[in-house]
Amino acid sequence: MPLRVPLLLVLCALLVPLAPALAQPAYNEIRQKSSHNSYQRSEALIDQLVYHRIRSIELDIHNGKTGWSAVSGNWYVYHATTEPETTCHRLSDCLDELRAFHLANPNHEVVTVWVDLKDAFETGRMPADLDTRITTHLPSAWLFKPSDVMAGCPGVSSLQAAVTGACTWPAHTELRGRFIFVLTGGDLSSSTSKLNTYVSNGSTATTRVAFVAPDLTSSSGISSKTYAVFFNIQAPNASVANNVHLANFVGRVWDVNDSGTWNAVQPLNVNHIATNKVNYHQDTWAVTHNSLGWPFQCLDGWACGGYQEPVDVIGAEVNTGDIWSSSDSFLFAHESNTAVTTTSWTASVSTPNSHVDEWGKACLMVRAGTAANARYFAICRAADNNKLRIQYRSATGGASSASEVDIVPSDTVDQESLTFLKLTVQYDGTQTCAWGYGSQNGSTWKLVGSQCFSGLLANQGLAAASHGSGKMKLLFSGVKRGSTLYRAASFPSKTAIGSVSSWRVFDGFF
C-alpha cells in the first residue's frame, strides 16, 4: 500500500518533528457497489446515493425515444424500446438529480457515473455536445476528468502512463465532492466505434470530459489502447478484473444479480460491482458500505472499517403508527418557538423507496403541543410511490386533511423521486400560518399548500412515522432552520407521540 505524503511535508520533516501523515487508499484501491441501469430501479437516484450508500450509477442514453421529440444536445435515458421505464427522462433530468444531490451533500465521496452509449453519435448529439451537456449541469470544477489524471503525472504522454509506474490515482479523500464520468458501449477495436468516435481514436482522450471503458473479455485487451484506464466486464468474464487491478486500472463487472455471483466476483479485486439489487435491506448480501455508512470497501490491505463520509444527516428509526386521522403515532424531534416571527425549515428526505410500507412518512412539522390529537401542519415525503404532500389537522381531535401537487413537469423527474421539503411558519401574535413547499433541487420551490390556525402552534421540527409496518429508517439531510444547520442534538426535545413501540434519533446513517 503506497504511502502518499506530499513532497513539502517530507522536506519539512527534516527540520521539524511531525506526526505521521495519514495515508488514504487511492480511487483504484476501493471496491464499491454499483447500481446497474440506475434510472430503471425502483429506488430514486437520490435515494440510491443517500439512503442505500451507492456512489456508482449507470445511465443508458439514446438519441431519441418513440413518441418523444428529439432535442438537440440532449439524450433520452432508458434501456430499450421494450423497456422504456425511467425515473429521470432525459440526460439533462438525470444530471439535475446529481446536481441536487451534490448541492445537498457537497462533501460526498466521489460518484462514478457510467454512461452507456446505446446509439452512435449524430448531428446535434456529437462528443462535444455530450461534454457540454454534462458540464452545463455539473460544473467542470465538480468533475475529475482525464486532464486531471494527466496533470497528476506531468511529462507522461498517455492516460495509462499517468496512473502506472511512479504515478497513481488520487486518494479517495482528494476526490470528495467530485464526479467521474465513464462511457461504455462496445470496444475500441474499430476506428468507427462509439467509444473511439468520442475520443477521436485516442487523440482527444485526455481533453474530453469523460473516460472511456471498453468491453473486456481477456487480459490481452488491457494494454492494447493506452487511453483506456477503465474497463467494463460482464460477470462471466469477471476473472479478468484482477489483472485490470494489477495493472493499476479500474474495472467494473456488471450483471451481478444473485448472492452466488456476488460472492464469486467480490474477491477478484473488482472496483465497481454492478447489480440491480439496490435495496440493502432486501438483499443484504449486496453491500459494500461499512457500519458508519462509508460506501466503500478497501483493497490491497487497507484498513478502512472506521472511515466515514463527511455529510450532515439526521436519521430517525421508528416503529410507530401513522400521522393521520384524529390521533397520531410518531416520533417528533422538536423545539419550541413562541416568538412573533417567521421561521423556515428545509431538508432533503431520503427513504428506502422500495420494499417498504409506502405510507411511512418523514415530515417537517409545526404542532400545537405533544398530545396525539393536537393541531398540526406538515410537509411530508412518503416512503414510496407517492408525491410530496401537506397534511394538517385544523381542530384538536379533528380529522386530518392532505393535499398534493406536481412539483415538476411529468416528463422530467418522477414526482415520487423528489426529496426536498420546506416549511415556513409565521406567528403574528394572534394566529399561526404555515406553508409547505416541495422542490427538485432545494432552491426552486413550489407551494404544495398552506393553512392558518388560531393561536400559537409552538412546536417545530422533524416528524417520522412507519405506518404500523415495524421499524423504518428515514433520513433528513441538511436540516436547517433559516441558515442554521441542525444536528440531532440541536433539537432539545425528542417525543414519542401516541402509541410508539420504539424510536431513536441519531446523526449519520445508522
**In degrees to the nearest 10, what's the CA dihedral of 33, 34, 37, 43?**
50
Burial status of residue 87 (CB atoms within 10 A of its CB: 0-12, 13-18, 19 or more): buried
At 405, give phi and psi (nearest 5°): -140, 160
21 HSE (CA, 13 A, CB side): 14
The residue written with cell numbers 417528533 in the block is 332
- What pLDDT does 5 receive? 38
Neighbours of 223 (CB within 10 A): 13
- CATH (one of 2.30.130.10, 3.40.50.720, 3.20.20.190, 1.10.150.130) for 30-298: 3.20.20.190
- What pLDDT does 17 receive? 36
Parts of the chain with a pLDDT under 50: 1-22
- What pLDDT does 11 receive? 30
Rounded to whole angstroms, the Cα distance separating 366 from 380 reads 12
From the list 54, 461, 454, 75, the residue with the least C-alpha distance to 288 is 54
Alpha helices in 122-274 (DSSP H): 127-137, 146-151, 159-162, 194-198, 241-246, 259-265
Establish whether domains 30-298 and 313-507 are of one fold.
Answer: no
- What pLDDT does 234 receive? 98
Neighbours of 425 (CB within 10 A): 22
- What pLDDT does 162 receive? 98
At 164, give phi and psi (nearest 5°): -135, 175
**Grid cell locating 65:** 425515444
Number of H helices, E strands in the chain: 9, 25
Do residues 235 and 265 make contact, with C-beta atoms less than 8 angstroms apart? yes
Boundaries of every domain in the chain:
30-298, 313-507
CATH topology of domain 313-507: Jelly Rolls (2.60.120)
Strand partners, 487: none
- What pLDDT does 23 receive? 82
| CA pseudo-torsion sign 51, 56, 61, 66 | negative
Rounded to whole angstroms, the Cα distance separating 228 from 205 reads 9
Do residues 378 and 304 make contact, with C-beta atoms less than 8 angstroms apart? no
- The length of the chain in residues reads 510
CA 29 remoteness from chain centre: 21
